[in-house]
Amino acid sequence: MSKRGIGTRAVHGAKDPRPGPLTVPIVQSSTFVFGSSAEMQRYLEGDEQLYLYTRYENPTLRELEQTLAALEEGEAGLVLSSGMAAATTGLLSLVKAGDEVLASASLYGGTTRLVREVLPSLGVATRILPPAELARLGALVGPRTKAVVVESPTNPSLDVLDLAAVAAAAHDHGLAVMADNTFATPVLQRPLGLGVDLVMHSLTKALGGHSDIIGGALVGSRERIDKARSLLKVLGGCLDPHSAFLALRGLKTLHLRVHRQCENALALACHLECHPKIARVLYPGLRSHPGHDVARLQMSGFGGVVAFVLKGGLAAAERFYDGLGLMARAASLGGVETLVSLPVHTSHHGYTDEQLKAAGVDPGTVRVALGVEDAPDLIEDASRALEAV
Ligand SMILES: Cc1ncc(COP(=O)(O)O)c(C=O)c1O
């Protein structure tokens, strides 16, 4: 089944249509009734037709988990209440107090805080490294090192990491690799096939696709997902069935939306590349991008996010932001509406100049997360906002 095209898997998930409702019912129930102690026993022995409690599993959530596993070509999936719930549950399923985690310096701000502040407070040592160093782990690995956390393309600098090289280097040292595939989506990149052990997503973004839910997911081997589920039961970050239904509905058009977002992103990036007020445009689809060749090999498209650095720094970026009409001034990405944010005010708020430099973020950076509108209208809006800079 997983050999079917990505669009077919997005529409149908892991199964062919069955008699009954075409769309997945929302099973909005916290708990489930057993017919007898014998049935309860069957549940305890692992009968997947039976359910106990929605924090453990739920029919609507299970459909979403199976669809995500089919899309990412993994054995199993787990859905959670947010991308950050996926990051925390996923990482805590890989390490314990006394272990060490190596993390890319170019990660979503929340994941960076988890690595920099929360894990150390739980006794897990962490080291934040320039992304390029993660493919040459060699001397960086110590006896306590157990896991590597990466993201590609990265937020907001759109760096591209060679995931196969990172995974091979990590496995040479017995480390597990968790990769955030939110920016690429399984339409453009499937990290498990490149050797990554655990894929995480913010369902809030392109997978949900309509900026109306907060959710997260993990996909990997059955063993890794069982371990993460066991932890989720205690940490408690389960997804609500109604949000799971909306995510399943969004997924049906994932491939169409992602391709349109890629087209819009390339059109905008090409238009902005020669603009006199712009110092540089960061988009893996541009030949000028240092990660272009790796992106061509490991992705089937370059994604829906474009960043650019204004020559006038943060003040110019704020004038651009204030001059927008059609593009919405909002955090997040992957929705049908184009959203614009200034990373120093959102994902990288509160960073020192040194930390911004380490994360590769210039204060004059503008991030545009393309929607599915018509490219000429978006370009016109950006051009008008640039006149105000
Ligand atoms: C790349 C990436 N990973 C993870 C997250 C966290 O996801 P959520 O907001 O669903 O917790 C985000 C959110 O912006 C993100 O952009």
Supply the pLDDT for residue 351.
86
In-domain check, residue 1: no
Lateral strand order in the sheet of 328-329: 278-282, 305-310, 365-369, 339-341, 328-329
- Which residue's C-alpha comes closest to atom 8 of ligand 1? 83
Question: Is 84's C-beta closer than 6 angstroms to any atom of ligand 1?
Answer: yes
Higher pLDDT, 135 or 39: 39
With a cut of 60, say whether residue 281 has pLDDT above it: yes
Statement to judge: residues 191 and 271 lie in one domain? no
In-domain check, residue 112: yes
**Mind listing the pLDDT tens digit for each residue in 139-191?**
899 999 999 999 999 988 899 999 999 999 999 999 999 999 999 999 999 99
* Residue 275 CA to ligand 1 centre (angstroms): 30
Annotate 290-358 with three-state secondary structure.
CCHHHHHHHCCCCCCEEEEEECCHHHHHHHHHHCCCCCEECCCCCCCCCEEECHHHCCCCCCCHHHHHH
**Mind listing the pLDDT tens digit for each residue in 284-335?**
999 999 999 999 999 999 999 999 999 999 999 999 999 999 999 999 999 9
Statement to judge: residues 168 and 238 lie in one domain? yes
Annotate the chain with three-state secondary structure.
CCCCCHHHHHHHCCCCCCCCCCCCCCCCCCECCCCCHHHHHHHHCCCCCCCCECCCCCHHHHHHHHHHHHHHCCCEEEEECCHHHHHHHHHHHHCCCCCEEEEECCCCHHHHHHHHHHHHHCCCEEEEECHHHHHCCHHHCCCCEEEEEEECCCCCCCCCCCHHHHHHHHHHCCCEEEEECCCCHHHHCCHHHHCCCEEEEECCCCCCCCCCCCCEEEEECHHHHHHHHHHHHHHCCECCHHHHHHHHHHHCCHHHHHHHHHHHHHHHHHHHHCCCCEEEEECCCCCCCCCHHHHHHHCCCCCCEEEEEECCHHHHHHHHHHCCCCCEECCCCCCCCCEEECHHHCCCCCCCHHHHHHCCCCCCEEEEECCCCCHHHHHHHHHHHHHCC
* Residue 83 CA to ligand 1 centre (angstroms): 5
Q: What is the average pLDDT across 236-249?
A: 98
In-domain check, residue 137: yes
* Residue 128 CA to ligand 1 centre (angstroms): 19
In-domain check, residue 132: yes
Statement to judge: residues 240 and 261 lie in one domain? no
Statement to judge: residues 162 and 274 lie in one domain? no
Statement to judge: residues 98 and 206 lie in one domain? yes
Statement to judge: residues 164 and 22 lie in one domain? yes
Would you say the pTM of this structure is higher than 0.75? yes
Range with top average pLDDT, 237-241, 342-346, 357-361: 237-241
High-pLDDT (> 90) share of the chain, %: 90
Closest ligand 1 atom to Cα of 332: 14
Statement to judge: residues 231 and 259 lie in one domain? no
- The span from the CA of 369 to the CA of 303, in Å, is 9
With a cut of 60, say whether residue 1 has pLDDT above it: no
In-domain check, residue 186: yes
* Residue 377 CA to ligand 1 centre (angstroms): 27
Statement to judge: residues 272 and 214 lie in one domain? no
In-domain check, residue 205: yes
Supply the pLDDT for residue 147.
98
Statement to judge: residues 202 and 334 lie in one domain? no
Question: Is 182's C-beta closer than 6 angstroms to any atom of ligand 1?
Answer: yes
Supply the pLDDT for residue 138.
83
How far from the centroid of its chain's Cα atoms is residue 326's Cα?
25
Supply the pLDDT for residue 293.
97
Q: Which among 214, 231, 251 is the end of a domain?
A: 251
Statement to judge: residues 258 and 290 lie in one domain? yes
| Mean of the per-residue pLDDT values of the chain | 96
Question: Is 339's C-beta closer than 6 angstroms to any atom of ligand 1?
Answer: no
Statement to judge: residues 224 and 277 lie in one domain? no
Closest ligand 1 atom to Cα of 331: 14
Question: Is 185's C-beta closer than 6 angstroms to any atom of ligand 1?
Answer: no
| Total count of domains within the chain | 2
**Mind listing the pLDDT tens digit for each residue in 14-39?**
899 999 999 999 999 999 999 999 99
Statement to judge: residues 168 and 310 lie in one domain? no
Supply the pLDDT for residue 357.
85
- The span from the CA of 342 to the CA of 323, in Å, is 13
CATH of the domain at 75: 3.40.640.10
